[in-house]
Amino acid sequence: MTQHLVIAGDALVVAATRIDGLAVDLGSADDRSVQIRDGLGTAAEVEPLRSAVDGFVSSWGIRREGLCESLSGLASAARRVDEGFDGAEQNLAQSATPVSRTVAPGHEAI
């Protein structure tokens, strides 16, 4: 039984782009949290909820920053893998291309 390795370089690039987008979305979560907090209004009854939102945003911010860095690293790694496969494919194509050789007069081709 033979198994084949199939590398979809375009899929790696698409995945890297999507991962970058996710990192950007997570990075802008503070902006959305301000909108949510402001949308709650200023009534005394919603102050506990506003405080809870603030607490969550603050504690989640630290984790989110680390996650954004990890996602950016993962996207970069996917791009490097794609570039590595592209290079390997080019090298393989070059090595499979016949090279024409000229023989100097008075010498035999090997």
For residue range 42-87, list pLDDT tens digits in order.
888 989 998 888 888 888 888 888 999 999 999 999 999 999 988 9
Q: What tokens does 70 get?
A: 């990890």
Residue 53 CB neighbours (<10 A): 17
Residues sharing a CB contact under 8 Å with residue 54, sequence separation 6 or more, in sequence order: 37
Record the pTM: 0.64
The DSSP line for 22-67 is: HHHHHHTHHHHHHHHHHHT-S-GGGHHHHHHHHHHHHHHHHHHHHH
* DSSP three-state, residue 107: coil
Looking at per-residue pLDDT, the higher value among 80 and 94 belongs to 80
